[in-house]
Chain A
Amino acid sequence: MTRSTFAMPALLGAATVIGLVAALTGDGWRDALGWIGLAAPVAAIGWGWRRRT
């Protein structure tokens, strides 16, 4: 139960934190990794909205 409920939130949280730290530790590809990491939660919300019932 808990595993499946929190699987996706944990992934999004990890992406966010990796993105925040990557962009802080450098420029160039690290900034790009930051954008991908922070785009993950935004994309997840957009995805949920698109398949609304």
Chain B
Amino acid sequence: MTRGTIRGWYLVHKWTSLVCTLFLLMLCLTGLPLIFHDEIDAALGEPTVAGPASASAAPGLVPLDRLLATTLEARRGDVPLYMGFSNDGPVTTVTTGPTPAADADRMTMRTLDRVTGATAASTGFGADQGLMALLLQIHIDMLAGRWGMYFLGAMGALFVVALVSGTVLYAPFMRKLDFGTMRTGRSRRLAWLDAHNLVGIAALAWMAVVGTTGIINTLATPIQRAWQAGELAEMTRADAGRSALPPRRYTSLDKAMLAARAAFPGMNPQFVAFPGTAFSSRHHYAIFFQGATPLTQHLLSVALVDAETGALSDARAMPWYVRALSLSRPLHFGDYGGLPMKLLWAALDLFTILVLGSGLVLWLGRRRAPLAARLRELESGGRIAAPVPAE
């Protein structure tokens, strides 16, 4: 590698890192407790209801129409928007709002028990839902909405470029060093340099996967809109000219569910999007099914059922770009392999903080040294330390 090449990669590494480091530190710090949100929620006394899964077709479960009627009785004037199911218990959520196109902060979600039919809880979407919800929102968009989310996506992209350029620079730095070299006994700067290189290269694949899937997650809204404008529009082309179906003419949801289940035998529904919402057309129940195996449970298929007649209109697997988004969620959150995996996720998160922090320390320590001296330090594997210039 020539001096000029190293210089170019060094400058790319320095600037991409500097711009994204503080935001990445925030993401690592807020992400750390989020890894354990299930355990923390359980410890804080979130109610858990035992019983058959609300997503199943187990006998004795309360009909969906009854859950819907119970909810709409309590929310007079609202229209149904979404109904969500669980694979672990009888919990069912029903989301309503003043109109099908209502913003999330005007929606109300009620939690019902599908064994007893009773209402367990009611929350507004904009309501304060505790510290974990706040941490999650900061992690997603820094409380700055859609543009905050895209901004963090851009910071993620810079982070990935910093990973690539850092990997390129690892080659000249390690040219005469063995893997795992940690020289802590000479100077503090050399210890930081070695720690930055060892931890950075060892955690590289994990940081690249979590970084890339994080970027994809920030694109959830455009991905969903692309599906709605593309494939969903194509599936409902026959109804394009019809006016919106008023809620009083909705047919039985249980009947619609029966028709949808017939299209995906062996699979269970994850949620229903009612007509007019962001995930459906103006005339259909869009019933989203998840696969029955650990891999396919992240991959959704959709059955569109005519909300007036209860007849199946179309049923398909979601396209590749929605599947990529679906797989990006578990790969980013690390919540799919039990507690040992979460602990390793936390360890790698802490190592990422170490990489970011050591990078910052290394830059702060020699930011006034001539570039040539810093490049010489890099190429010598840290043996020729860049001098601290006299003030």
A residues neighboring B (CB under 8 Å) = 1-2, 5-9, 12-14, 16-17, 20, 23-27, 30-31, 34-35, 38-39, 41-42, 44-45, 47-49, 51-53
Are B293 and A26 neighbours in the complex by a CB distance under 8 Å?
yes
Apart from A9-B204, A23-B337: 4 A-B pairs, beta carbons within 8 A: A6-B171, A14-B205, A38-B345, A53-B185
Are A5 and B202 neighbours in the complex by a CB distance under 8 Å?
no
Give chain A residues whose Cβ lies under 8 Å from the Cβ of B125: none
Are A9 and B341 neighbours in the complex by a CB distance under 8 Å?
no
Are A26 and B295 neighbours in the complex by a CB distance under 8 Å?
yes
Q: B344: which of A12, A27, A35 is its contact (CB, 8 Å)?
A: A35
Are B198 and A38 neighbours in the complex by a CB distance under 8 Å?
no
Are A24 and B182 neighbours in the complex by a CB distance under 8 Å?
no
Q: A26: which of B171, B174, B201, B294 is its contact (CB, 8 Å)?
A: B294
Are A23 and B198 neighbours in the complex by a CB distance under 8 Å?
no
Expressed in whole angstroms, the minimum distance between the Cβ of A5 and any Cβ of chain B is 5
Most central of B179, B202, B331 by chain A CB within 10 Å: B202
Are B348 and A34 neighbours in the complex by a CB distance under 8 Å?
no
Are B185 and A35 neighbours in the complex by a CB distance under 8 Å?
no
Most central of A1, A7, A12, A48 by chain B CB within 10 Å: A48
- Bound together, the chains give a CA A2 to CA B171 distance in angstroms of 7
Expressed in whole angstroms, the minimum distance between the Cβ of A12 and any Cβ of chain B is 5
Most central of A2, A16, A17 by chain B CB within 10 Å: A16
Are A13 and B295 neighbours in the complex by a CB distance under 8 Å?
no
Expressed in whole angstroms, the minimum distance between the Cβ of B95 and any Cβ of chain A is 29
Closest to A32 in B: B340
Expressed in whole angstroms, the minimum distance between the Cβ of A40 and any Cβ of chain B is 8
Give chain A residues whose Cβ lies under 8 Å from the Cβ of B209: 16-17, 20
On whether A38 and B348 interact (CB within 8 A), knowing A31-B341, A48-B181, A48-B198, the answer reads yes
Are B182 and A49 neighbours in the complex by a CB distance under 8 Å?
yes
Q: B205: which of A6, A13, A25, A45 is its contact (CB, 8 Å)?
A: A13
Are B174 and A38 neighbours in the complex by a CB distance under 8 Å?
no
Flag whether B206 is at the interface (Cβ < 8 A).
Answer: yes
- Bound together, the chains give a CA A48 to CA B181 distance in angstroms of 6
Flag whether B338 is at the interface (Cβ < 8 A).
Answer: yes
Are B344 and A45 neighbours in the complex by a CB distance under 8 Å?
no
Are B337 and A31 neighbours in the complex by a CB distance under 8 Å?
yes
Give chain B residues whose Cβ lies under 8 Å from the Cβ of A25: 294-295
Give chain A residues whose Cβ lies under 8 Å from the Cβ of B330: 24
